[in-house]
Structure 1
Amino acid sequence: MTTSILEDKDIVCLAFPSWDGNYEKSTVKIMSQLAKRNRVLYIDYPYTYKDIFTTWFGKQNAPVGRMLGTQKRLRKISLPESAFIHVLTTPPVLSVNSVKNAAKHRRLLQTNGNIVRKSILKAMKSLGMKDPLVVCAFNPFLGLPLLNQLNELATIYYCYDEISACNWTKNYGKQLEEEYIKKADTIIVSSDGLLKSKSSLSNKCYLVKNGVDFAIFNRTAELRQRNKNVDITVGYLGSLDERVDYELLMYLAEKLPDIKFEFVGRIISKDKAAQLDKFPNTKFWDAKKPEELPSYLKKFDAGIIPFLKNEQTAGIYPMKINEYLAGGIPVISTDFSPLPEFDSVIATASTHEAFLQAMMESLCNDTPQKRKERISIAAGNSWENKATQFSQAIADTLMRKNAVKPVVAAVSVSV
């Protein structure tokens, strides 16, 4: 299949995820791919004055030097294939999520927008950027006050989570997102669940699901061939947070004492993780960079996605599913969200008992042919292919707006 990818465009990404960190972020992956052919300015997570103080007291690790301007705010980050991306840390903004008065909250958002706008325009000028495409990545808090303030050709809202289910933004997130969606030129979502919920707000929605660093995670298949595992190990990649069904994990650890359960990622729900840690067959590892994960994944005989089924998880397309598949290992998941494209290669269960049974059957009945099928599906979900789909959505937007004829290059996409 041949499609088109944007070339020679200026792109400003109003990001919610921070650029730095040791876990996968779809916004970072997509923008890194687009930066191969375009000039991309990534506006880093908008740190607050509160973040400065928590860092000074050793409770956080915010980039205080760049925030305060004692270090260069604008960085040029090298990427693979001789590409690079510009990352801007803005001055600190006000922490406003806890403000109860709606009118005051809106005024403070505008203040934050003014602070960030000056910094962005200065960076754009230094880079010679004009008439950018603005991609607002899950950040309507800055997107709204900056709307039509950057001389943008088009505005794209990238939604990768259900904002109405996030506790940290329960007061205003849903309202602000809906307002921004109605004003944006295009909406790009990362899951079928989000497409369903956002399509009621806009008829300009595109679906671009999460991808995988296929070459990195496919190394796991080769490593597993070289190093045959002695013990059976079931693994989980990702954050241990409020999305996880800890009752299920404790049930599995108790019922299967001879199987090791290893968890690689950030521990957000520390109390729940502590309960799980009491089992002798569980082990925890800190979050690792993507290139470090194959040395952990090679020990997994199966990968699990033990998510609760609720409003938040209904909008999730987990990156770990393709990471497991790229390594060729069986995948067992709860039925937290429809994932029809994986029906032939993963096992799903709706109860604890069914999950245990599906896991044991997957472990006992694995074959070289099944591993080959899993790897084949993951190969078609590379970040390169996802960025091409993202580009096509933006190109369609420009053509629809008739702003300018988009500059595109023909590329081959694996399907």
Structure 2
Amino acid sequence: MNFVFVSLQRINTDRESTSTSLAKELSKKHRVLYVNPPIDRRTWYSKTNDIYTQAHIQNIKNKKAGLVQVSEQLSVLSPQKVIESINWIPFTAVFSLFNRINNKRFSSCIKEAIQELGFDTFILVNDKDMFRSFYLKEFLKPALYVYLDRDYTIGFGYWKRHGPTLEPLLMKKSDAVVCNSLDFTKRALTYNKNSFYIGNGADLEVFDHTKSWEKPEELKTFKRPIVGYVGALNSMRININLIASIARKRADWDFVFIGEEDENFIKSDLHTISNITFYKKKHTNLIPAYVKYFDVCINPQLVNEITIGNFPLKIIEYLAMGRPVVATATNTMKEVFSEYTYLAITTDEYIEAIEKAMKLDTLNLQQERIQFAHTYSWPSVAKIFLKYINEVAKDKNIPV
């Protein structure tokens, strides 16, 4: 099979996502073209600090080839055409007219790459790119158009104006919708009968507990138990007040947070609490060393429309390193992870769960966590994904 991926996430970064990991796994047996997000006009003129976006813009200015072969069966396209910034348009009907123009411009870059690669037929996988890729089914005419639903993006400001209208329409016209959480699958089924749960995966070659991980220098200064978190510190997902309350009540624990902070986190009182330490985002390959030396790993999420049904990949990564995990009791945590984690909502529940996780941890429990995490490998996810793709293709009498 030939696959073309479009996504909100670039593939050439220091952090993987569902789409980048799935594309890389599929490329072991199939030809894959991964399309990085196009540059829009606003980004072109902004002073972005993202080195990967900067490199993309510079390549366009230098008229470098956008298509690069990164492995035998995986190619990456960084589109050379700039699209317009149109999300400011208040009316969805008007937005859609201009969005179609953007889609046509974007699709022309993909068409050139497809022709260069010699893809006669292909399956197009759209990872949450509900605006820029809304009309790609019409412009590119793939054998199958598959929408990958792996986050509740319409809960965020950028997507709130047009997303609630356009995403359901995109799901309806897709040949299939694949989801990484059970809640997302239930929602997708209301729009498309060919909606399937494929789960999520972790890079178990990176999060390998058998490797000899040296304790990071930054952690060597801590003498008390370390309660740790790794990931984006987004105030719409992570509960600032909960963290502050737990840390103030348990001054005998050190709390370590590794990841990029949003403005609310940066300005929060968390930076004034003596037993809370923040470290900047680390490369994925370095993260297992930190996780290995956390006494307990946490995911102190808020409970809202964004988090209630999402599948937190970090939980698999924590468990793959054998660590005890305490997390907020969202639907996915209760449905998927309840047997292997400790779940809580309030401050007192979190403290009780962390105490329990520290006290009851054993080598046997660590091994059980690791074995469970290994059921969420990318080969497993890819196998399930291909199973449903073949079922839909057979049902529609489409050769793939």
| TM-score interval, smaller chain | over 0.9
Query: What is the match of residue 138 of structure 2?
Result: 148
| 1:358 corresponds to 2:349 | no
Query: What is the match of residue 49 of structure 1?
Result: 41
- CA shift, 1:102, in A, is 2.7
| 1:234 corresponds to 2:227 | yes
Work out the CA distance in 1 between the residues paired with 2:293 and 2:267: 21
For residue 40 of structure 1, give the secondary structure of its aligned residue in structure 2.
strand
After TM superposition, list the pairs within 5 Å mapping 1:259-408 onto structure 2.
259-271=253-265, 274-339=268-333, 340-404=335-399, 406=400
Inter-CA distance 310–220: structure 2 relative to 1 (3 Å threshold): farther
For residue 361 of structure 2, give the secondary structure of its aligned residue in structure 1.
coil
- CA shift, 1:300, in A, is 0.7
Work out the CA distance in 2 between the residues paired with 1:313 and 1:378: 21
- CA shift, 1:59, in A, is 4.6
Work out the CA distance in 2 between the residues paired with 1:167 and 1:23: 23
Q: Which amino acid aligns with 1:198?
A: A
Cα offsets for 1:147-193 (capped at 9, x unmatched): 23213111100011123312111011121111111111100011111
Inter-CA distance 165–60: structure 2 relative to 1 (3 Å threshold): same
Query: What is the match of residue 29 of structure 2?
Result: 37
Q: Which amino acid aligns with 1:399?
A: K
Inter-CA distance 307–358: structure 2 relative to 1 (3 Å threshold): same
After TM superposition, list the pairs within 5 Å mapping 1:65-104 onto structure 2.
65-68=58-61, 70-78=63-71, 84-104=74-94
Tell me, yes or no, if the aligned pair for 2:38 and 2:78 is still in contact at 8 Å: no
Q: Which amino acid aligns with 1:178?
A: P
Cα offsets for 1:116-146 (capped at 9, x unmatched): 1111111111111122111111012133222
Q: Give the counterpart of 1:124 among 114, 139, 146.
A: 114
Query: What is the match of residue 4 of structure 1?
Result: none
- CA shift, 1:114, in A, is 1.3
- CA shift, 1:306, in A, is 0.5
Q: Which amino acid aligns with 2:384?
A: Q
Work out the CA distance in 1 between the residues paired with 2:287 and 2:98: 41
Tell me, yes or no, if the aligned pair for 2:319 and 2:325 is still in contact at 8 Å: yes
Tell me, yes or no, if the aligned pair for 1:66 and 1:89 is still in contact at 8 Å: no
What is the total number of aligned residue pairs between the two structures?
Answer: 392
Q: Give the counterpart of 2:237 among 234, 243, 253.
A: 243
Q: Which amino acid aligns with 2:355?
A: M
Work out the CA distance in 2 between the residues paired with 1:274 and 1:220: 38
Inter-CA distance 278–305: structure 2 relative to 1 (3 Å threshold): same
Q: Which amino acid aligns with 1:33?
A: E
Q: Which amino acid aligns with 1:115?
A: R
Cα offsets for 1:189-218 (capped at 9, x unmatched): 111111121111111111011111113212
Work out the CA distance in 2 between the residues paired with 1:93 and 1:259: 49
Work out the CA distance in 2 between the residues paired with 1:330 and 1:32: 29
Query: What is the match of residue 149 of structure 2?
Result: 159
Q: Give the counterpart of 2:6 among 10, 14, 36.
A: 14
- CA shift, 1:222, in A, is 5.2
For residue 207 of structure 2, give the secondary structure of its aligned residue in structure 1.
helix
After TM superposition, list the pairs within 5 Å mapping 1:163-182 onto structure 2.
163-182=153-172
TM-score by length of 1: 0.89
Work out the CA distance in 2 between the residues paired with 1:90 and 1:136: 19
Task: Note the residue ranges of structure 1 that are not aligned, 5 or more in a row.
Answer: 1-8, 407-415
- CA shift, 1:24, in A, is 3.0
Identity of aligned residues (%): 25
Inter-CA distance 244–360: structure 2 relative to 1 (3 Å threshold): same
Tell me, yes or no, if the aligned pair for 1:303 and 1:329 is still in contact at 8 Å: yes
TM-score by length of 2: 0.92
Inter-CA distance 304–213: structure 2 relative to 1 (3 Å threshold): same
| 1:187 corresponds to 2:157 | no
